[in-house]
Amino acid sequence: MRVAVVSDIHANLPALEAVLAAIDEEAPDELWCLGDVVGYGPNPNECVAVVRERADVCLSGNHDLAVLGALPIEDFSPDAATSARWSASVLDDDSRSFLALLPSLAPRYRAQLFHASARDPVWEYVLTEEAASASLALTDAPVVLVGHSHVALSVTEERGGVTGGAAPEGTEVPLEGRRWLLNPGSVGQPRDRDPRAAWLLIDFDAGWAAFRRVRYPIDRTQEAIRARGLPPTLASRLALGE
Q: Which residues bind Zn ion (CB under 5 A)?
A: 8, 36
**Residue 203 C-beta: closest distance to Zn ion, Å:** 26
Q: From the centroid of its chain, how far is CA 107?
A: 16
**Residue 48 C-beta: closest distance to Zn ion, Å:** 15
66 vs 143, beta carbon nearer Zn ion: 66
147 vs 164, beta carbon nearer Zn ion: 147
Main-chain phi, psi angles of 172, to 5 degrees? -130, 130
DSSP3 helix / strand / coil % (the chain, rounded to 5): 35, 25, 40
7 vs 156, beta carbon nearer Zn ion: 7
**Residue 63 C-beta: closest distance to Zn ion, Å:** 6
C-alpha–C-alpha distance, residues 128 and 81, integer Å: 26
Task: Give the residue at shortest CB distance from Zn ion.
Answer: 36
**Residue 19 C-beta: closest distance to Zn ion, Å:** 15
8 vs 124, beta carbon nearer Zn ion: 8
Beta bridge partner(s), residue 174 = 208
Identify whether the C-beta of residue 4 lies closer than 8 Å to the C-beta of residue 199. yes
C-alpha–C-alpha distance, residues 167 and 110, integer Å: 21
